[in-house]
Amino acid sequence: MQTSNEDGYELWLCYRRVENDERLAQYRAAINSIVVLSTSATATIIKNELARALPALLDRNVPFADKSVGNALIVGTVDEVARAPLTLTLFPFGEREHTPSPWKGEGWGEGGFSIHSQQIANNSFIVIAANSAPAVLPSVFHFLRLLQTQQDIRTLNIESRPRIRYRILAHWDNLDGSIERGYAGRSLWNWDELPDKIDARYHDYACACASIGINGACLNNVNANAQSLTTEYLEKTAALADVFRPYGIRVYLSPKFTAPVHLGGLSTSDPRDAKVAAWWKQKVAEIYRLIPDFGGFQVKANSEGQPGPQDNGANHDDGANMLAYALAVHGGILLWRAFVYDTSVDADRANCANKEFVPLDGKFHPNVLIQAKNGPIDFQPREPFHPLFGAMPQTPLALELQITQEYFGQSKHLVYLGGMWQEVLHSDTYAQGAGSTVAKIVSAPSNSCIVGVANTGTDRNWCGHHFSQANWYAFGRLAWDYELRADAIADEWIRMMWSNDSDVVDTLKQMMLGSWEACVNYMTPLGLHHLMKEHHHYGPDPGFNNAPRPDWNNVYYHRADANGLGFDRSHTGSNNVAMYHSPLREQFDNIETCPEKYLLWFPDSLTNLIKAA
């Protein structure tokens, strides 16, 4: 169990002696030695982690060996396992009920893996393998998770592969070390010291991400500074990419759309201008010379004062495609954020993104993903799912979630967000009939993507609040497999982070699982949202009405007066309900059928109830 002076630095990777004596005996019998079938940089990381974890968990030394003599843990890629001097056979995906056949790793893709028990004569083996070295690393962490949570490992037949291809942490970190919506200290990236000095914490960050299957990190704020694309800063970014690469993590950047003007001396950033396109092509080529596995760009354009193609009379597809063409030849993707809410387009901010993007469906280059927040407003404690999901069938959509607790009491409140994300992912859009969930829409294309706005910082415990670490963990686990249950993820995290004692697990899980609904009830009851203080978004201020534009005022959303309160998004109001597919649009439009949690979001319900009374 955690000691009273636990500082949280080790996150969920704190390895302590297995307290269950029966399980401990089982683990000791199964793992007498470790064979890592590689000498790659990733294999070194694996060896170091196993050397740290297994002696602590098993309370005894576990030696490494060049070859197995039985009762061993064997780790390697598919090819390495095939070359090993062992008569091992494993179940490939789809053949679990058939006679074991030589394992080929078919159907596993980039990240899939197997953990499989095998008995040969009187010797037992546990074989962990995947198609590539970076994919082996998450599988090792999965195995260690079994030990940390004291699972039975006698007959393992685990097959796992990520349901979403790109699983990215987006850091809203600025080059000066500050973090927009950061509540855990300063930025992890010491830009002034890079590329010469590599902080050991970069490795620890990458290790934590790899342990939960995160495979991408966008390093800078979406409210971007053009300086991040200078050669000086690209060399700094390349140093971080070198650290992250063996962990299977690619780096991404958020570029400023007007960088050709700021850095290239051009008179315009119009994406239709050949000189602008040529500048971006050259800049992207420079990035890939320095970072061959660069992931791509995440772009915030024509939103909240950020420049974009519309400043020059072009549109989102013009700007996105121009950048996408430059990235495509190198294998990069473009994440174009749909967080736009120009109320000259529609007086209801919740309608704006659909009105701007739906007409462009099918016009984007194949490596463009439109990145939409989970709800149509702005990461509120509860929102209905964003109506863009299900409205753009010819365009890949990336789901953006916010791990950092901007509207959830920040690092001062315990709010576990696994249940919120589960609700969003499992929401049925009915776009192709029943069963068209947000998760299935996001995971359908081959370049599927989910993005989480990170909550990390330089605080010793990484996230400002020990329990905020659970949201980083839950994001990674759900990004890997959105069918996992929020309560099961919480159970895992508690057992890994705190203790396997049933009293501890039951007590902490009850706190965590009730925290989101409690937060909703006192911050955004019945869908009544935007009641928080302006600018810092901590604490209540429902009467705020001094912003420079109407939709930045709290009263714009709750519209409280003598007759009632709530935003009328029914067919008699902004008609936001029409952006949802049947039967949802009819359900949301009717005061009698609208779910209670959205009563003040869709129908002008409380006003009507008062009038009816």
Please confirm, yes or no, whether 378 is among the known catalytic residues.
Answer: yes
Tell me the pLDDT band of 93, cut-offs 50, 70 and 90: very low
Tell me the pLDDT band of 206, cut-offs 50, 70 and 90: very high
Domains 166-485 and 524-612 share a fold: no
pLDDT at res. 102: 38
Cβ partners under 8 Å of residue 384, min gap 6: 375, 376, 427, 527, 580, 588, 598, 601, 602
Active-site residue, from 59, 106, 192, 304 = 304
The mean pLDDT of 138-156, rounded to a whole number, is: 97
530 closest CA partner among 401, 412, 375, 426: 375
- Superfamily for the 21-160 domain: Chitobiase/beta-hexosaminidase domain 2-like (3.30.379.10)
The pTM is what? 0.96
Single-letter code of the amino acid located at 134: P
- Helix pair angle (21-30, 41-58), 10° resolution: 140
pLDDT at res. 329: 98
Each residue of 1-14: pLDDT tens digit? 344 457 999 999 99
pLDDT at res. 113: 94
Alpha-carbon distance 594 to 527, whole Å?
11
Token pair listed for 297: 């760009």
The mean pLDDT of 283-289, rounded to a whole number, is: 98
Q: Where are the beta strands (DSSP E) in 219-299?
A: 250-253, 296-299
296 closest CA partner among 250, 338, 240: 250
pLDDT surpassing 80 at residue 194 = yes
Helices then strands (H, E): number in the chain? 18, 13
The mean pLDDT of 373-391, rounded to a whole number, is: 98
pLDDT at res. 7: 93
Please confirm, yes or no, whether 406 is among the known catalytic residues.
Answer: yes
pLDDT at res. 122: 80
> What's the distance, Cα to Cα, between the start and end of the chain in Å?
56
Whether the CB-CB separation of 40 and 87 falls below 8 Å is answered with no
The mean pLDDT of 380-389, rounded to a whole number, is: 98
The mean pLDDT of 337-352, rounded to a whole number, is: 97
Whether the CB-CB separation of 221 and 180 falls below 8 Å is answered with yes
The mean pLDDT of 390-409, rounded to a whole number, is: 98
The mean pLDDT of 421-445, rounded to a whole number, is: 97
pLDDT at res. 279: 98
The mean pLDDT of 210-221, rounded to a whole number, is: 98
The mean pLDDT of 193-219, rounded to a whole number, is: 98
pLDDT at res. 96: 39
pLDDT at res. 107: 64
Each residue of 265-274: pLDDT tens digit? 999 999 999 9
Each residue of 442-452: pLDDT tens digit? 999 899 999 99
Each residue of 295-326: pLDDT tens digit? 999 999 999 999 999 999 999 999 999 999 99
Q: What is the mean pLDDT of the chain?
A: 93
- Superfamily for the 166-485 domain: Glycosidases (3.20.20.80)
Distances (CA, A) of 335 to 107, 218, 219, 391: 26, 11, 14, 18
Alpha-carbon distance 157 to 159, whole Å?
7
Q: Give percent of the chain above pLDDT 90.
A: 87
- Output 594 or 66, whichever has higher pLDDT: 594
| 524-612 is a CATH 3.60.150.10 domain | no
Each residue of 234-263: pLDDT tens digit? 999 999 999 999 999 999 999 999 999 999
The mean pLDDT of 218-230, rounded to a whole number, is: 98
Active-site residue, from 10, 378, 423, 428 = 378
364 closest CA partner among 340, 335, 332: 335
Alpha-carbon distance 424 to 490, whole Å?
17
pLDDT surpassing 70 at residue 586 = yes
Q: Where are the domains of the chain?
A: 21-160, 166-485, 524-612
Active-site residue, from 159, 270, 356, 406 = 406
pLDDT surpassing 70 at residue 485 = yes
Single-letter code of the amino acid located at 23: R
pLDDT surpassing 80 at residue 511 = yes
Single-letter code of the amino acid located at 442: V
Tell me the pLDDT band of 401, cut-offs 50, 70 and 90: very high
pLDDT surpassing 50 at residue 335 = yes
Each residue of 434-483: pLDDT tens digit? 999 999 999 998 999 999 999 999 999 999 999 999 999 999 999 999 99
